[in-house]
Amino acid sequence: MSLPATLPNGYLPSGVHIAALSEVITRFGTTTPRRQVLANRLQELLTLARATVRLQRVFVWGSFVTDKPFPRDLDVFLLMQEGFDGELIRLPQAQRDVFNHQRARLLFEADVFWATEAIGLEELASWLGVYQLSRDMIPRGIVEVTFDDRNP
Amino acid sequence: MIETPEQFERAEEAITKMKRFLLAARRTHTPEAYAALSAPILQELQDRERDILDYLSRSPQVASR
């Protein structure tokens, strides 16, 4: 297991923690019925995002990756291959829903943030820095999700 | 909730970073994609700016209680 224990404040320690999806699900998606529901939603949305074959990296933060027994929703960032933005309109509806904020909230109980690699590494790092602070400005860790088959 | 000047500074920095991300995304993504990807960020910006206005609306005495 590569994910560290949560701190007394319920958050992961600061930093970006890399973990396989299976580990994320085992750790955060099993202990309560609410967590099981959100874990299923996460797997559904990631299956659809991966089906585009343009998914490069995945980050998860927010209440799901804390020790709260009843997380409100999922917060996810999907980094897509450069050029994906031009393909968005041609995706099957089920895949396109992942990248539509309102549809994603409705279907997956998730705030899905996304961009393509064209955004640049510097902006990506800056963005990830924003989410390593809670809305109460408390430092917290976020999770980069990898896949067991190593193929995004 | 923002309670201290340090938290206020961090919140302002976070908002600046989010706006910079949006500006970069506007330059590098198609209009359709930008419309989709900016929606949750704009919502988050609005929420965070509300937190800042809430902090600024309280006097230091009230904020430190």
Asked if this assembly's ipTM is beyond 0.90, the reply is no
- Tell me which chain B residues have a C-beta less than 8 angstroms from the C-beta of A102: 39
- The confidence score (pLDDT) of residue A149 equals 75
Banded pLDDT at A30 (limits 50, 70, 90): very high
User: What is the C-alpha to C-alpha distance for residues A43 and A51, in angstroms, rounded to an integer?
Assistant: 12
pLDDT score of A150 more than 70: no
In tens, the pLDDT along A45-88 reads 999 999 999 999 999 999 999 999 999 999 999 999 999 999 99
Q: Which domains are delineated in chain A?
A: 20-146 (3.30.460)
- C-alpha B31: how far from chain center: 22
Residues of chain A whose beta carbon is less than 8 angstroms from a beta carbon of chain B are 84-86, 88-89, 99-102, 111-116, 118-120, 123, 126-127, 129-130, 133, 135-137
Q: Is the dihedral of CA B4, B39, A74, A4 positive or negative?
A: negative
pLDDT score of B63 more than 80: no
Banded pLDDT at A135 (limits 50, 70, 90): confident
This prediction's pTM: 0.92
Query: What are the φ/ψ torsions at residue B27 (nearest 5 degrees)?
Result: -75, -30
Closest Cβ–Cβ partner in B2, B40, B51 for A112: B40
